[in-house]
Structure 1
């Protein structure tokens, strides 16, 4: 289980780095690069979700010694998948690629449920 959390830490750092790059694209590309009128905003929101959840994954995975490890691992896996299923389709939609747009609600729901699972990991925490 600890090995999975190490990979999730690395994935969180990757999400954060890619999110900063995506925010730079959303800031500096011309308006013509975005499909719907709110396309730039969509890309920025997707990058925000990826950035914050990437940071959260890095922080949460460090808590394995203080939190219930199975619940934490399940919650972090859900956050990682949910962030992928939300941020990528929303960002692509902002650029006019609508193929994956229907995955965003699934990703958002996974993120919400995963935060609840992470919250429950504090209730069954291990004794220090």
Structure 2
């Protein structure tokens, strides 16, 4: 469900990025928003695949990693979208979200190794 919601909102962000006039973006913001949308879409697809793969057998590590991917994606992409539209770089949300994503994927890797 969360993967599908990330993909749905990523599609909306893709449409906004493609069609909003330039004054709605900070300098270089359209490219930044496009990059965040790409990241959001890939993470959404990964969460869909993860959800399908966990239907039969799961572990706490895999659930934790999946939740972390969701939270990290929201933080990272949200921070980048904010900067793309406002031009304000003062937030640490994007770097923390990116770090959370990396850590979550490492947790997933460990969970899959232990599951095998």
Report the RMSD for the aligned CA atoms in angstroms.
Answer: 1.7
Q: Which residue pairs with 1:19 in the alignment?
A: 10
Among residues 49, 57, 64, which one is paired with 1:74 in the alignment?
A: 64
Which of 94, 98, 120 is the matching residue for 2:88?
98
What TM-score do you get using the length of structure 1 for normalisation? 0.82
**Is 1:117 the counterpart of 2:94 in the alignment?**
no
TM-score by length of 2: 0.90
Count residues with an aligned counterpart.
Answer: 115
Give distance in 1, aligned partners of 2:97 and 2:90.
11
The structure-2 alpha-carbon separation of the partners of 1:39 and 1:99, relative to structure 1 and needing over 3 Å to count, comes to: closer
For structure 2, list consecutive stretches of 5 or more residues without a partner in the other structure: none
Unaligned runs of 5+ residues in structure 1 are 1-9
